[in-house]
Structure 1
Amino acid sequence: MQGNAMQVIVKEEKETSSKRVVFPRLEILELEDLPKLKGFFLGMNDFRWPSLVIVKINKCPELTMFTSGQSTTPKLKYIQTSFGKISRERGLNFDETIDQTTFSASSEPTISKGMLCSFNSLLEINIEWENVGKTVVPYNALLQLEKLQQITIQGSHTLEEVFEVVALEGTNESQTVVQIPNLRQVKLANVGDLKYLWKSNQWTVLEFPNLTTLSIDKCKSLEHVFTRSMVNSLVQLQDLHISDCENIEVVVKEEEEKCDPKVNDIRLPRLKSLKLSKLPSFKGFCLGKEAFSLPKLETLQIKECRAIKVFTKGHVSTPELKVIDTGFGFRYVKTDINSLLKTKQEEVLLFISLLILEKAH
């Protein structure tokens, strides 16, 4: 349903009535490109939608309520918007206030700032070719993401940071650990200006204890993925795939602040698949001296990463890894990854030298 001047879908009559309004068979409701729409109905009647299972709302920036009265939707689980899926298990009425979902002042999003972007009801973030500004999740919403399960972002060229982490310099506050407890899947593609998934600092640490899949493709400004302080929180991470990111140098970045000296072993206990391809600036998985334990790693792919010299500078344990898939074919892991990479580099250099000698003769 479209209309530039439409403010309501159902208009309130002059004679007020307290009768309940029922849409007995309505299953799908789509509202799109309604710049003046303030609500479905602004009167005080109660609404019942016994069959409603799909609600899609897109480009309705002035929508701040659905109905003023009670609105019951027993089959509706979420609302689909251009920002993502919003939980609506309690019906179509909005209980959260706009203040709870204010975006960062620097973000300048084009997506609605109203109640449809309530972060504490957010199930999924799904953004395709939308301008959301520089940040998707503002700092003041980090503690409201208990329901968030999935993030998919494609083609947002102004985005610089997925989670805004503010540096609280000059304060005496201790370090804050923020968990995103139910986030399981993150997919980022064609986000050209993305510099950080989350910018680490000494005041705030983000943890993702249930993240299982992370896929990053064509994010040319990204230089690293995780920081040393939060990588041990990734206890459920199983699949990590990074491709076609020309400036990525490492997966795990060492921080300027010294980490706890007692923590000298980095574990990714469930990581099964690690695929790295078309990363011309990639130097290694981590260039710190900590030991790495990857006890479940079965698939390791390293292709078109011409700058790599070591996998890690510390010891790396991969008891289940049998072969590495490289641009030159599969290589059996007889000792460890670092030794294999060194051998492979020597083989490549020897091959190039032989070609040069052959051409010279």
Structure 2
Amino acid sequence: MSPSMARSLLNLRKLWIISCQSMEEVITEEEQQGEEIMTNESLFPRLENLYLNDLPKLGHFILTKRAHEFPSLKEVDILECHKMKTFIQQVTVSTLSFESVNNDDELKVVDLNKAMFNSKVLCHNLEVLYIWEANSITALCSHQLPAPYFSKLEALEVQNCGELRNLMSPSVARALLNLRKLRIEECQSMEEVITEDQEQQGEQIMIEPLFLVLEVVILDMLPKLRHFFLTKYTLEFPFLRALQIHVCPEMKKFVQQGSVSTPSLECVNNDDEVKAVDTMFNSKVSCLNLKELELAGANCITSLCTHQLPMGYFSKLEKLVVRNCGELRNLMSQSMARGLLNHRTLRILECQLMEEVITEEEQQGEEIMTNEPLFPVLEELKLYDLPKLGHFILTKHVVEFPFLKEVAIRDCPKMKSFIQQGTESTLNFESVNNDDELKVVDFNKTMFNSKVCLVPLYN
């Protein structure tokens, strides 16, 4: 229909357009119409739900040089609109933005008409946004959006957008005052979720958290994703309770440090050698209320988190699942494990290089180990298909799991003992029927011994 027709639909609340193979635009321009009218009255003034599905030729919702407001729009679903580059297409104005790259002699061209949302469309009351198979967009929104643009948005899901390289800028992310769920799946070109603002770098990043009330993040099948955000400042996610990262093989860190050396260099047995450690979590990101964490197919990390994290970093975590992380050699340090005050479920599956779950901390006082248990409220432990796992932890002290009820160990061919004894002789000489013979019993080849206390275990 025409813009004037759209403005006359004073009570339209729901608009669904499905499987119209030749549709190129929803609202078409009227011939020789004064553009002034368009700025005074909104299109579909009471529209709440917009659903666009299987429109293979749709390029945009409307072509205009004016801004349009949808004051009542709460939910937008855009599915299988492969040629749709932007919601509102700009005309008679240059849409190209020139951005410098690392080499000062080079420039990259950013087409603002390949961002789904820009300053030409206003949806201040939008609560749900779902975009699937919009293969022509390179960013969800332009970096120049006004601060409260998505302030009412609660759920954002983006799937199968093949050209999407990033989602939004930090300034747009900080304006998402009500976003609780973020899901990004199967975007083959995505390299980072939050991209840096042009010419913006400063104190705001230190003071204001991203996604103030975000509770759930799901990142799934993003083969080029390197990190969630690149920054030299600490980021806080104060309400994040569930994080799932599945099949992101290039992702080394949740938050990547910028303008600072990122590898952590650790000494190995040979003093002349050092090894670089890539950990998913470090001191640059704070998720103090995280309750569920799932990692699968994160093939670049060698450890879940650095040893220098504060004691209570994961104090609210209840469930941790790690699957198919091909370079993961250990999970965490002993002090980190003791700080998991609410952790009840631990599952480690199909990690081909994992040698131990809990690794020793350098020069740590051993007195702490005798007083506080590892995973103080852990109830369920599953270790599946870990071909190099030798033990759960190496220590010379007794380790207690006071609430552990269920243990499942499957396909761990090198695991000799649940708790590996260190710095003490593990050999015991026992007499056999013939008094002249002795047999040697190595306690480190028995799964359970006096070094581990599992009083409540019943399964």
Task: Please state which band the TM-score falls in when normalised by the shorter chain.
Answer: 0.5 to 0.7
Against the structure 1 CA distance between its residues 65 and 162, is the aligned structure 2 distance closer, same or farther, given a 3 Å change threshold?
closer
Against the structure 1 CA distance between its residues 322 and 280, is the aligned structure 2 distance closer, same or farther, given a 3 Å change threshold?
same
Q: CA deviation at 1:44?
A: 5.9
Asked whether 1:27 is paired with 2:49, we answer: yes
Q: CA deviation at 1:208?
A: 0.7
Q: TM-score, normalising length from structure 2?
A: 0.53
Note the alpha carbon deviations across 1:143-187, whole angstroms, 9 max, x for none. Answer: 423233222122211123334354xxxxxxxxx543211222111
More RCO (CA 8 Å, sep 6+): 1
The letter for the 2-side match of 1:78 is: V
Q: Find 2:286's aligned residue among 203, 207, 217.
A: 207
Equivalent residues of 2:420, 2:444 under 8 A apart: no
Give matches, 1:295-334, under 5 Å: 295-313=376-394, 316-327=399-410
Unaligned 5+ segments in structure 2 are 1-16, 80-84, 87-113, 134-144, 150-161, 265-281, 427-441, 448-459
Q: How many residues align?
A: 301
Q: Find 2:75's aligned residue among 19, 43, 54.
A: 54
Against the structure 1 CA distance between its residues 164 and 46, is the aligned structure 2 distance closer, same or farther, given a 3 Å change threshold?
closer
Q: Where does residue 14 of structure 1 map in the other structure? A: 34
Over the aligned positions, Cα root-mean-square deviation in angstroms equals 4.5
The letter for the 1-side match of 2:247 is: N
Asked whether 1:229 is paired with 2:308, we answer: yes
Q: CA deviation at 1:225?
A: 1.5
Against the structure 1 CA distance between its residues 205 and 337, is the aligned structure 2 distance closer, same or farther, given a 3 Å change threshold?
farther
Secondary structure of the corresponding residue to residue 403 of structure 2: coil
State the distance in 2 between where 1:177 and 1:212 align: 20
Asked whether 1:77 is paired with 2:113, we answer: no
Q: Where does residue 276 of structure 1 map in the other structure? A: 348
Asked whether 1:155 is paired with 2:235, we answer: no
Higher Rg of the two aligned structures: 2
The letter for the 2-side match of 1:297 is: L
Note the alpha carbon deviations across 1:193-236, whole angstroms, 9 max, x for none. Answer: 23333457599532111111111123333322111233631121
The letter for the 1-side match of 2:306 is: T
Q: CA deviation at 1:344?
A: 9.1
The letter for the 1-side match of 2:379 is: E
State the distance in 2 between where 1:7 and 1:208 align: 43
Q: CA deviation at 1:79?
A: 2.2
Secondary structure of the corresponding residue to residue 383 of structure 2: strand
Equivalent residues of 2:51, 2:76 under 8 A apart: yes
Q: CA deviation at 1:25?
A: 5.8
Against the structure 1 CA distance between its residues 345 and 293, is the aligned structure 2 distance closer, same or farther, given a 3 Å change threshold?
closer
Q: CA deviation at 1:337?
A: 5.1
Q: CA deviation at 1:21?
A: 4.5
Against the structure 1 CA distance between its residues 187 and 44, is the aligned structure 2 distance closer, same or farther, given a 3 Å change threshold?
closer
Q: Where does residue 240 of structure 1 map in the other structure? A: 320
Unaligned 5+ segments in structure 1 are 84-93, 99-107, 167-175, 255-262, 330-335, 349-361
Q: Where does residue 237 of structure 2 map in the other structure? A: 180
Against the structure 1 CA distance between its residues 213 and 10, is the aligned structure 2 distance closer, same or farther, given a 3 Å change threshold?
farther
State the distance in 2 between where 1:115 and 1:11 align: 32
Against the structure 1 CA distance between its residues 10 and 147, is the aligned structure 2 distance closer, same or farther, given a 3 Å change threshold?
farther
Give matches, 1:27-46, under 5 Å: 27-30=49-52, 37=60, 43=66
Note the alpha carbon deviations across 1:287-312, whole angstroms, 9 max, x for none. Answer: 22354631211001112223223323
Q: CA deviation at 1:11?
A: 4.0
The letter for the 2-side match of 1:346 is: K
Q: TM-score, normalising length from structure 1?
A: 0.65
Q: CA deviation at 1:237?
A: 0.6
Secondary structure of the corresponding residue to residue 321 of structure 2: strand
Against the structure 1 CA distance between its residues 72 and 149, is the aligned structure 2 distance closer, same or farther, given a 3 Å change threshold?
closer
State the distance in 1 between where 2:317 and 2:185 align: 25
Q: CA deviation at 1:283?
A: 1.6
Equivalent residues of 2:287, 2:313 under 8 A apart: yes
Secondary structure of the corresponding residue to residue 317 of structure 2: coil
Q: CA deviation at 1:138?
A: 4.4
* Structure with higher strand content: 2
Note the alpha carbon deviations across 1:44-78, whole angstroms, 9 max, x for none. Answer: 675443xx44212575324443756x7564xx423
Asked whether 1:65 is paired with 2:65, we answer: no
The letter for the 2-side match of 1:80 is: Y
- The alignment-based identity, stated in percent, is 13
Q: CA deviation at 1:136?
A: 2.7
Note the alpha carbon deviations across 1:219-266, whole angstroms, 9 max, x for none. Answer: 333322111233631121110011122221111269xxxxxxxx8984
Secondary structure of the corresponding residue to residue 293 of structure 1: coil
Against the structure 1 CA distance between its residues 163 and 45, is the aligned structure 2 distance closer, same or farther, given a 3 Å change threshold?
closer
Give matches, 1:343-358, under 5 Å: 346-347=445-446
Equivalent residues of 1:239, 1:272 under 8 A apart: yes
Q: Where does residue 338 of structure 1 map in the other structure? A: 419
Equivalent residues of 2:167, 2:193 under 8 A apart: no
Equivalent residues of 2:166, 2:194 under 8 A apart: no
Equivalent residues of 2:147, 2:171 under 8 A apart: no
Against the structure 1 CA distance between its residues 220 and 210, is the aligned structure 2 distance closer, same or farther, given a 3 Å change threshold?
same
State the distance in 1 between where 2:210 and 2:115 align: 23
